[in-house]
Amino acid sequence: MKTIIFLSTLLSNLLLNTAVATPDPDRENRVQNLLSLSLEELMEVKINSANKVAEKIGEIPASVVLITRQEIQRYGYTTLDDILRHVSGVYSIDFYGLGGAAYGVRGYLSTGAANRNIIILINGISKILDPDSAFFVSDAPVPVEAIDRIEIVRGPQSTIYGSGAFFGVINIITNEVSQKEGSKSYVSILGGNDNTQRWFARTSYANNKGKVVLNVGSYREDGFNVPYSRLESMPMAAEEGLSTGGRLENKQKYFDLSADYQNFSFNMIHAIINEEAFASVPTIRSGTDRKTESTHIRLGYKTDISNQLSLDSKLTYIRDKTLVNYDSPFPVHTAGYDYEDERSTAYEGEMTFLWKKPKQLDLIGGIYYRYAPKLSRYIDIPMLPNAIDLQKSLTRLKSGDEVVNRALFSQINYYPDKYWKWVAGLRLEQVLGYGAFVEYGLGEQYQSLVVHNLRGYGIM
């Protein structure tokens, strides 16, 4: 984190002209122009989320929602959850559990807070959590001030993105630049009810060869305070007379850096989330704490091989660490702390080709490879002594094994005339076999290490 702060300071010194507390007028004008377009002109706007290549909204064979910066300001949205809950055709249920709300489209909803059917992207980078193969909305803590637009594709996109995109794709864009030359900066500070505190800073630089965009933000709130009696019809333990006050606090820190230079691109996202939630039932102490730290670094190269063939290649490094201190729903629990330590490291590579025959045929094809050499989960739940597999239990990959996911995908778009578009696609995806190793009743040395980590992150 010290390195990231140093980079932030260095780039700010290089790019900053004047920090102002008012919105960027060029950015506002650009968004206002977008909103003033007619329906026919709006259909000509291009997005990249549907097929991983720039395509006009009017030619995408899917239901697409484009949320602009102007809309976010107009309706006063303060979080990503606020935005998604107001999108027509997107449904959500908030369990007040770990990971945030569950989302679905067209009447279909994920069965838990771990969204496994809607892919969440930030600037095209997947926010999948490897141990759960899931997408938690809370793990994408993008400040609303950093969002230039959100592209939501409702409906199956599994041919291009894999099995996690059965309900659709949400792509959050934070690296657009309005100016053609020079630098621009923006600073925002906000306070409100429930001890809400938020600050955000953005600086960008552009010239004829590329651009750099830096977003840094912090957010915290104590959460709402309502009696448990409003959330459940019958107390399950000792919740009667208690409320959610002090048990749903949320703290977030976010950093992203994007740079483009000619055909090359660089993206880095670092986020720290410390949220309180309920694990299955309301709690009577301070609430269950979930602390997540994630880092994504991507290098990209895009080029036109010929007049009809183009290539977009990406290589990504991912590291996630999640520490959970479970709160007990019981009035007497002296067996110690209930906690979980989950870690993963992965590498992802992808090459996407687009072959385009003017006015008649597009062919999208690519290869995908994900390599996760480190996956581990340590869990100790003394409040459930009869669950042997939850007592000082460590699950990890066997030595020398790794989780490998590889895929080939293609999609053909045929335009017989200006009124019709025929689409056919195929994806072949395979997860190679691997071995897992489970240990129970680990010694105090490993347990002390996990407790030290929890304390270091302010959970214990």
Q: What is the DSSP string of 156-191?
A: --HHHH-GGGSSEEEEEE------SSEEEEEEEEEE
Reported as type and span, the H/E element at residue 231 is none
Give domain 2-456's CATH superfamily: TonB-dependent receptor, beta-barrel domain (2.40.170.20)
HSE-up (13 A, CA, CB side) for residue 114:
9
Q: Look at residue 456 in the predicted model and tell me its pLDDT.
A: 55
* Structure token pair of residue 72: 């976010």
* Confidence at residue 421, expressed as pLDDT on a 0 to 100 scale: 80
Confirm if 256 and 123 have CB atoms less than 8 A apart.
yes
How far apart CA 114 and CA 99 sit, in angstroms, is 7
Q: What is the pLDDT along the chain (460 residues), one digit of tens a residue?
A: 434 433 443 344 333 333 333 444 454 454 445 544 544 455 556 666 666 766 676 666 667 888 888 888 888 888 888 898 888 888 888 878 887 888 888 777 766 556 778 889 999 999 988 887 888 888 889 999 999 999 888 878 888 888 888 888 899 999 988 888 899 999 999 888 888 899 999 999 999 999 999 999 999 999 888 888 887 777 666 777 788 888 889 999 999 999 999 999 999 999 999 999 887 777 777 778 899 999 999 999 999 998 889 999 999 999 999 999 888 666 555 555 788 899 999 999 999 999 887 677 889 999 999 999 999 999 888 877 787 788 888 888 988 899 999 999 998 888 888 778 888 889 999 999 999 888 887 655 555 555 555 555 554 4
In tens, the pLDDT along 346-401 reads 999 999 999 887 677 889 999 999 999 999 999 888 877 787 788 888 888 988 89
Burial 396-413 (b: 16+ CB within 10 A, else e): bbeeebbbebebebbbeb
